[in-house]
Amino acid sequence: MKKVGVIFGGRSVEHEVSVITGMQIIENIDKTKYQVVPIYITKEGKWLIGECLLDFKNFKNNNLKDAKEIFMTPSHGNFNLYANPEEVGLFGKKILDTIDIIFPALHGTHGEDGSIQGLFELMDIPYVGGGVLASSVGMDKILMKDVFKANNLPIVDFYWFYRSDWKDNNESIVNNIENKLKYPVFVKPANLGSSIGINIAKDREGLIKAIEIAVNYDRKIIIEQAVQNPREINCAVLGYDEEIITSLCEEPLGWEDVLTFEDKYVKSNSKGTKTSGERRIIPADISDELRERIEDLAKKSFKAIDGRGTSRIDFLIDQEQNVFINEINTLPGSIGFYLWEGKGYPFKKLVDKLIDIALVTHEEKKKNMYNYDANLFNRIQYGGKM
């Protein structure tokens, strides 16, 4: 039976959201096929394992004293979880567990942005979700939009700048924004999710205030042209390479300016139905023609960043039925299980499919050559002379 290490928590402002995602994944992994090893990264950056991590109540009550600190190595092919040498001593148990595949559930910084995916690549261990490139591009809203623009995918106009430049040239930046965009505009940290640090500005005073908030969360700030009276429609993609399918479309309800953190994670706990009492409508009440356009753009955006696993793509629809890609949310920032239930993938089956994709794509990677015998050492003299 393969052991799946589910990694969650992390040094991110989205720490608590990640814990919830990790608990959901652990609950829905097929226990007849896989043994779960929970790996929790604290807000301080310590890596812990232990049975106590399987109970969500222990996180609510901060009762994790029985968890043990572990270390991992980037050495190729080493999937061991090592104990803290200061705790086990000379003759203690040094290897606490060994895992076969990793299911990251880390939201935001250091987890969703390609950072930890780089560790998995060095280890050469199968892992669920997008690779380093897809994760980093999907996280950075500026690079994401540049990639979409290069692939002729529809996006709203935007402007971006560095935090350091804002401190020295804030008036010039505001003038540049007002010359390129019209109010209202969205102000966002380039590398963050869950609506944290995001605000809408309807005039110069609001713009400056929103930027002053955003610069606390990232060194890169993006300003986006707001779509007037938009509908938000979301659609997810599942698969890899050309073998991809789309989910049902959803329309979040009560979406006016921007969904807050509480809207996403506190108020919206239930599955959506076609009732106004829920936080979303699934499937979205849109025409077949619009749905097909959205599904096509969802696939193209997923392929444009070299996605794998699953990602949710958020769209904005204006009054003339023009479709704009707002952003792509790679796994684990969005598992979007509720979007897949109506397509024959309940949560447990979706988790199983994501693990299968990770294993298949890892086998595909083994076809690459990583050695090239050029006999270079014997053909060149020290100092660069042949």
- Residue ranges of the annotated binding site for ATP are 141, 186-188, 194-195, 224-232, 326-327
Count of CA atoms in the C-beta half-sphere (13 A) of 344: 2
- Verify cis geometry, omega within 30 degrees of 0, for the bond prior to 104: no
Query: 246 pairs with which residues across the strands?
Result: 237
User: Count of CB atoms within 10 A of residue 250's CB?
Assistant: 24
Q: Which amino acid is at 109?
A: T
Told to judge if 112 belongs to the known catalytic residues of this protein, a careful annotator would answer no
Annotated binding-site residues for Mg(2+) read 314, 327, 329
**Tokens 């409508």, residue located:** 281
Told to judge if 194 belongs to the known catalytic residues of this protein, a careful annotator would answer yes
Question: Which residue among the candidates 12, 14, 136, 247 is catalytic per the annotation?
Answer: 14
Question: Which residue among the candidates 12, 135, 136, 194 is catalytic per the annotation?
Answer: 194
How would DSSP label each residue in 14-79? THHHHHHHHHHHHHHS-TTTEEEEEEEE-TTS-EEE-GGGG-HHHHHTT--TT-EEEE---STT--
User: Count of CB atoms within 10 A of residue 88's CB?
Assistant: 15
Alpha-carbon span 249 to 245, nearest angstrom: 12
Contact partners, residue 307, CB within 8 Å, separation at least 6: 130, 134, 138, 237, 240, 328, 330
Told to judge if 18 belongs to the known catalytic residues of this protein, a careful annotator would answer no
Catalytic positions, written as ranges: 14, 194, 334
